[in-house]
Structure 1
Amino acid sequence: MTAVDKLKDPTVRALLEAVNSGDRAGFLALLTPGAVLSDDGTERNLEEWIDKEVFDSNGRIEVRREEADGRRLLARFRNDTWGEMSTRWAFEVEGDRISRIETGQA
């Protein structure tokens, strides 16, 4: 397991810290304008998805493995709606902001 505060990419690390602390505003501040989220290969409305899957349902991410200098993760994701599941995450980073998030079951 990799502690979130030890992730190599500082922008991804800050995004996961925002998830795990319930900081929606902090999460959104780390995204580029027009950032995209894809869940199991389908693009979603990013703000609706994060509200439903993360912030309104107590979502948390526990990193199992990081790759690609911290921009690809295998993690345990849990929320009050779905419980706990193995997930994969990939992030495209532009400067100090994230432009694309891809997630899905692993």
Structure 2
Amino acid sequence: MTVPVDQLADPAVRDFVTALNGGDRSGLHRVLAPGATMSDDGSDRNLQEWLEREVLSSGGHMDVESESDDGRTLIARYRNDTWGEMRTRWRFTVAEGKVTRFETGQA
């Protein structure tokens, strides 16, 4: 079962997932706050390099299985051309309608 992206509860998270799934570089930049940060499997990464490598240049896509924490925590099947598909958890911090941080890793 998947949650349709347009039904995700948090507008900033919904915009992030929409842009990610569409490979929309400018959409991702619009939803991310200046100075936004992220971590992957518990290690902080350079956000722009990570997005380019793990999402934009490798066909990244997430199918959301569930959401919690008012839509700011997702369990999703994430896939890209580099790693294939895996079950992942995404936790978002949002302020003033922008994603200020996200943490992802295997679920």
TM-score, normalising length: structure 2? 0.97
Number of matched residues? 106
The two structures, once aligned, show a CA RMSD in angstroms of 0.5
Show the counterpart of 1:97: 98
Unmatched tracts of structure 2, length 5 or more: none
Question: What does residue range 44-83 of structure 1 map to in structure 2 within 5 Å?
Answer: 44-83=45-84
- Taking the aligned partners of 2:47 and 2:26, their CA distance within structure 1 comes to 13
- Taking the aligned partners of 1:54 and 1:67, their CA distance within structure 2 comes to 23
TM-fit CA distance, 1:28 = 1.0
Percent of pairs identical after alignment? Answer: 54
Unmatched tracts of structure 1, length 5 or more: none
TM-fit CA distance, 1:90 = 0.4
- Secondary structure at 1:48's aligned position in 2? helix
- Taking the aligned partners of 2:25 and 2:94, their CA distance within structure 1 comes to 19
- Taking the aligned partners of 2:104 and 2:29, their CA distance within structure 1 comes to 17
- Taking the aligned partners of 2:57 and 2:3, their CA distance within structure 1 comes to 25
